[in-house]
Amino acid sequence: MSDSPSGPDPSGPAWMDGLRWNEAGLIPAVAQDWLDGAVLMVAWMNRQALESTLSSGEVHYWSRSRQELWHKGATSGHLQRLRGLRYDCDADVLLLTVEQQGDVACHTGARSCFYGETGGADGAEGGEPCPGGPAALPPPADVCTELARVIEGRRDRPEPGSYTNRLLEGGDNRILKKIGEESAEFVMACKDDNAAEIAGEAADLLFHLQVALAHHGVPWRQVQAVLAQRRGAPRRS
């Protein structure tokens, strides 16, 4: 993800002219979290909304129901800071990478508008309809974020026989010992130059690092933010 829109220079009109606006002069825009890739919402933009977004750095949409420009979060405080902008291969959908203020994108108070669950690809039926709000199902995200959610869930709601809970119950002594062991195994896998073993040991190490983070109450998202801040920073000598 980039801190500036990809493609042609967005300060000029040429690339906007190439977008495939519908008959009402609108184009759908998908808002995606800048750290974990979660889809937060989908709305519509017209040219005015897109130009206002690019000039202000804060996302504007076009409200079809009110027929007016909509500065996202201007009333609620849940502004969206634009981090990146792309359009798809057909130039008929925009993808906005945003920093969501307050971590709330949905009007119900949920982090994402996509909290309704169908039951998954196996054809199982979904649960009861969710009214949304802060307790709504979180949106799908990258695998490390999903893992962190599982680990934090075990911490907050222990399950008998859970390996994660055994680690957490042992505290730093048990967790840090495992991190040391997994670090050594990762080093040896690299020395052996075995791609499958390197990947497996890296996964084990990341898991135990995330257990340590959960034990100390440090969210995985905080680590992602640090990594994002370091990208593009001056190189170390």
> pLDDT tens, 116-126?
877 655 545 55
12-34 pLDDT tens trace: 568 999 999 999 999 999 999 99
User: CB-side exposure of 196: number of CA atoms within 13 Å?
Assistant: 0
Q: Considering only 29-38, 134-143, 159-168, 217-226, which range has the smallest mean pLDDT?
A: 134-143
- What is 143-230's CATH topology? Helix Hairpins (1.10.287)
Distance CA 130, CA 28 (A): 25
Q: Considering only 9-13, 81-85, 194-198, 200-204, which range has the smallest mean pLDDT?
A: 9-13
| Domains in the chain: boundaries | 14-103, 143-230
pLDDT at site 6: 43
Distance CA 103, CA 145 (A): 15
pLDDT at site 5: 42
Structure tokens at 89: 């291969």
User: How would residue 101 be classed by pLDDT, with cut points 50, 70 and 90?
Assistant: very high
Distance CA 228, CA 139 (A): 20
33-88 pLDDT tens trace: 999 999 999 999 999 999 999 999 999 999 999 999 999 999 999 999 999 999 99
Question: What is the architecture, at CATH level 2, of domain 14-103?
Answer: Roll (3.10)
Distance CA 199, CA 221 (A): 22
In this predicted structure, the answer to whether residue 232 has a pLDDT above a threshold of 80 is no
Mean per-residue pLDDT for 124-133? 64
pTM for the whole structure: 0.80
175 close to 211: Cβ distance less than 8 angstroms: yes
Start-end of H helices in the chain: 14-17, 47-56, 143-156, 163-192, 195-215, 220-230
pLDDT at site 3: 44
